């Protein structure tokens, strides 16, 4: 566990059997234990959105995950959200509760196709902001169109927040994705690091490793900002 750091993970596929994340309760338990050992104290479960999703089932699974954590002696708080692949009617779905924001806040975790252009992402951000939501771009490092100069700055100025996966921060010296993430963090344009954990064997949480790397390199004045402090704005439903 990272000393004196209580992490909040806002992007995690820990609900069992609901998407491409944990396949069963055993895998969910392993993910919870791994996250706890790394210093995570609050997880927002974010299953992939589907128009066919049974919201009551999601709430029951969330309650079950919380109970599982407590049975294991882990004082983990579990909240609910969704990872939302953007579509034109998304603002309306959010307003009607047919799609979920993060922990019942105004923040919405939104993803795009890797090949989507900047105009698509910029338009989506503006539409969500105009509808009263704060878009959090999931794993922003995947969208190559954002690597052109000035584009992340424009999105942030438009009201978006950017999230990167912790695993993307752990690359070596010649890892272009890691280099881009670190540069954007230095410029203050990355607001959240999250695990995007799916399964213990393929995509486990790597938050502690990423935090230690940022702390060692002194990439930002306080690495804890993007691992826990900023996340509290979501839980308290306040504008970052």
Q: Where are the domains of the chain?
A: 7-235
Q: Residue 35 is encoded by which pair of tokens? A: 């996250």
Q: Which pair of structure tokens corresponds to residue 189?
A: 């344009």
Q: What does the block give as tokens for 216?
A: 């060692």
Looking only at the bridges linking them, the beta strands covering 77-80 and 134-137 are unpaired
pLDDT at 25 over 60: yes
Beta-bridge partners for 80:
45
DSSP reduced 3-state for 181: helix
pTM for the predicted model, two decimal places: 0.96
**Nearest CA-CA partner of 129 in 80, 103, 90:** 90
Q: What's the burial of 165, exposed, middle or buried (CB within 10 Å: 0-12/13-18/19+)?
A: buried
Confidence band, pLDDT 50/70/90 cuts, at residue 5: confident
Query: Residue 152 in contact with residue 137, Cβ under 8 Å?
Result: no
Tens of pLDDT along 65-75?
999 999 999 99
pLDDT at position 124: 98
CATH topology of domain 7-235: TIM Barrel (3.20.20)
| Four-point Cα dihedral 210, 9, 24, 75, nearest 10 | 110
């Amino acid at each position: 566990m990272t000393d004196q750091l209580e992490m909040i993970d806002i992007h995690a596929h820990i609900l069992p059997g609901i998407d491409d994340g944990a396949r069963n309760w055993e895998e969910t338990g392993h993910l919870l234990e791994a996250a706890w050992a790394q210093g995570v104290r609050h997880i927002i479960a974010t299953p992939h959105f589907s128009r066919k999703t049974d919201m009551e089932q999601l709430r029951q699974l969330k309650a079950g995950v919380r109970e599982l954590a407590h049975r294991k002696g882990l004082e983990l708080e579990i909240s609910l959200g969704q990872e939302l692949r953007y579509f034109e009617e998304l603002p309306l779905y959010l307003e009607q509760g047919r799609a979920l924001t993060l922990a019942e806040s105004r923040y919405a975790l939104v993803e795009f196709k890797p090949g989507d252009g900047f105009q698509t992402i910029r338009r989506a951000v503006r539409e969500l902001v105009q509808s009263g939501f704060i878009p959090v771009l999931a794993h922003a490092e995947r969208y190559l169109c954002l690597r052109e100069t000035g584009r992340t700055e424009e999105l942030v100025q438009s009201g978006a927040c950017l999230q990167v996966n912790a695993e993307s921060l752990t690359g070596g010296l010649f890892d272009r994705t890691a280099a881009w993430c670190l540069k954007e963090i230095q410029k203050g344009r990355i607001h959240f690091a999250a695990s995007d954990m799916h399964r213990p064997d393929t995509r486990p949480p790597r938050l502690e490793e990423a935090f230690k790397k940022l702390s060692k390199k002194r990439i930002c004045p306080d690495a804890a900002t993007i691992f826990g402090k900023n996340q509290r704005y979501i839980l308290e439903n306040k504008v970052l």
